[in-house]
């Protein structure tokens, strides 16, 4: 659809673009990103024929841009400029109708039914139809932006150039506009090239991104490749972090205010963040932690800031326990999207937690445990599948930065430690009579602040491994003993009542 070949040029005495080459396919949504002054608007001006390259050429549908008359170009290409603030005393409908100019052959050509239908449709699509008789200069910035978008669409272009289209739009219109553009590219083959300052929006919606740096292409590739943390930090010269989007497989670039970044470096998750609420225990982190977990919600890997261990009755049996858990969290004003949530039949008062430190790193361990349902993993084939609410739930908060490998090793270290606790306390699998290794529905959470000291490994004898094994060992023993004591007291009580 569009081919930019070795384009160099800019303004008199000021070459802005240096040997730019890229192609845009029909139906593609290409995002142009880059710091202020990197040449985004300049390349737009060249594609729309306002500026001529000093060397190189731009082909639109295989014909040089320069060979199109203004009217021919307007039939193929429409532009929504950055500052769509040209307020003049026309009504919304009159303004949108100007977009039909390219389709009229003479001054006196009649306004056709098709013209009317296109104008009405684009006004509907952009949400401006309801004020079509208002004057443009009486609208808000966002409303005006949508009017000029409707005008560009009324041109029925094959390619649409948008300079920061979401600039004046509120969240709902940003999403609405970008969803619509994406739909058009897919369904009608409209090609869209858009400048974005918001890298997250660009990453969410664009098929590919063109990253400009000082008038040159730094990278032209899919969003995940372009939105690389080191690359964006270097090009934009600022501190950002790349996080996976919580619900769609797209990258999100997060800005960290310099001061906060420093403050958060030695931020420590500990018992200050732990809260007991009715039926549940929560840990609320002030920022999302990188997690790997086997929770009922928020399981797998992600970034979560709320951690819930919920008490349920032993008889809890729900066909869709994830959905039920989400509804439970919502009922308690907890956003399930932000949450790793687990269940346990153990009384939450019997929790055991402990912060263990070594020099600049610390680990906060929280365990609830009951051994009544224990199983020997080496004899699991002897058991029927009858999952009960998890009885050993282990939370490991690492106040430091872990690699993915260290996350996995943390899980191994904690699991080995738990099995050793079962062995040392001689907790048996009631079916096989052998020493158990855990319970069939135990859950684990590793959550790291990803700030401060860096740890590549967390096997048993590494710095992190030692903290994890010590914490998990002591907390699991403590939690199991508390649980056992409660069970014993309950047994004594029951026997007493029976005798009475």
Residues that bind ligand ATP (CB under 6 A): 10-11, 14, 16, 34, 36-42
CB of 227 to ligand ATP, least distance (A): 17
CB of 58 to ligand ATP, least distance (A): 15
CB of 212 to ligand ATP, least distance (A): 6
* Residue placing its CB nearer to ligand ATP in the complex, 217 or 361: 217
CA–CA distance, 46 with 271 (Å, rounded to integer): 59
CB of 39 to ligand ATP, least distance (A): 4
* Residue placing its CB nearer to ligand ATP in the complex, 40 or 208: 40
* Residue placing its CB nearer to ligand ATP in the complex, 54 or 67: 54
Mapped onto helix, strand or coil, the DSSP state of residue 369 is strand
End-to-end CA distance of the chain: 89
CA–CA distance, 462 with 455 (Å, rounded to integer): 9
Beta-bridge partners for 352: 367
Mapped onto helix, strand or coil, the DSSP state of residue 133 is coil
Residue with tokens 């956003």: 335
CB of 94 to ligand ATP, least distance (A): 29
* Residue placing its CB nearer to ligand ATP in the complex, 11 or 101: 11
* Residue placing its CB nearer to ligand ATP in the complex, 40 or 242: 40
Report which of 87, 41, 73 is spatially closest to residue 155, judged by C-alpha positions. 73
Beta-bridge partners for 170: none
* Residue placing its CB nearer to ligand ATP in the complex, 82 or 474: 82
* Residue placing its CB nearer to ligand ATP in the complex, 84 or 274: 84
Phi-psi domain of 164 (left: phi exceeds 0; alpha: psi -120 through 50; beta: other):
left
CB of 37 to ligand ATP, least distance (A): 4
**Reduced DSSP (H G I as helix, E B as strand, rest coil) percent helix, strand, coil of the chain, to 5:** 40, 30, 30
Residue by residue, DSSP assigns 137-203 as GGS-HHHHHHHHHHHHHHT--SEEEEESTTTT--HHHHHHHHHHHHHHHHHH--EEEEE-S-HHHHH
CB 289 within 8 A of CB 447: yes
CB of 200 to ligand ATP, least distance (A): 16
């Amino acid at each position: 659809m569009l081919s930019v070949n070795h384009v160099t040029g800019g303004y008199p005495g000021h070459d802005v673009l240096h040997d730019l080459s890229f192609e845009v396919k029909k139906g593609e949504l290409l995002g142009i990103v880059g710091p202020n002054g990197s040449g985004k608007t300049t390349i737009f001006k060249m594609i729309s024929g306002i500026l001529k390259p000093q060397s190189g050429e731009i082909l639109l549908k295989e014909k040089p841009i320069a060979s199109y008359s203004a009217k021919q170009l307007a039939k193929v290409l429409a532009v929504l400029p950055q500052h769509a603030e040209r307020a003049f005393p026309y009504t919304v409908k009159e303004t949108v109708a100007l977009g039909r100019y390219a389709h009229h052959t003479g001054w006196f050509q009649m306004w056709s039914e098709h013209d009317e239908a296109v104008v009405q449709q684009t006004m509907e699509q952009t949400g401006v139809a309801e004020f079509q008789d208002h004057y443009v200069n009486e609208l808000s910035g966002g409303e005006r932006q949508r009017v000029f978008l409707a005008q560009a669409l009324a041109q029925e272009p094959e390619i649409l150039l948008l300079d920061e289209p979401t600039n004046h739009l509120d969240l709902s219109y940003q999403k609405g506009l970008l969803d619509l553009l994406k739909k058009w590219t897919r369904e009608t083959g409209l090609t869209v090239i858009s400048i974005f300052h918001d890298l997250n929006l660009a990453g969410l919606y664009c098929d590919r991104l063109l990253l400009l740096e000082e008038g040159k292409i730094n990278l032209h590739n899919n969003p995940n490749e372009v939105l690389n943390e080191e690359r964006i930090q270097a090009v934009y010269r600022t501190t950002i972090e790349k996080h996976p989007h919580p619900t769609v497989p797209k990258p999100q670039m997060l800005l960290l205010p310099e001061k906060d970044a420093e403050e958060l470096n030695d931020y420590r998750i500990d018992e200050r963040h732990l809260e007991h609420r009715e039926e549940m225990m929560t840990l609320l982190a002030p920022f999302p932690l990188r997690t790997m977990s086997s929770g009922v919600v928020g399981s797998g890997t992600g970034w979560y800031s709320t951690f819930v261990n919920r008490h349920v009755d032993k008889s809890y049996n729900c066909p869709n326990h994830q959905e039920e858990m989400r509804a439970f969290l919502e009922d308690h004003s907890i956003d399930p999207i932000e949450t790793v949530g687990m269940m346990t039949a153990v009384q939450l008062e019997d929790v055991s937690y402990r912060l263990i430190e070594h020099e600049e790193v610390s680990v906060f361990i929280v365990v609830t445990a009951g051994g009544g349902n224990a199983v020997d993993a080496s004899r699991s084939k002897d058991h029927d599948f009858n999952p009960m609410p998890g009885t050993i739930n282990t939370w490991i908060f690492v106040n430091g930065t872990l690699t993915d490998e260290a996350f996995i090793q943390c899980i191994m270290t904690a699991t080995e430690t738990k099995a050793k606790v079962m062995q040392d306390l001689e907790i048996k699998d009631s079916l096989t009579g052998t020493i158990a290794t855990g319970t069939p529905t135990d859950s684990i959470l590793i959550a790291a602040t990803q700030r401060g000291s860096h740890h590549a490994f967390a096997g048993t004898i590494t710095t992190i491994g030692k903290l994890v094994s010590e914490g998990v060992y002591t907390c699991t023993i403590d939690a199991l003993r508390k649980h056992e004591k409660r069970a014993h007291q309950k047994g004594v009580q029951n026997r007493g009542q029976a005798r009475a």
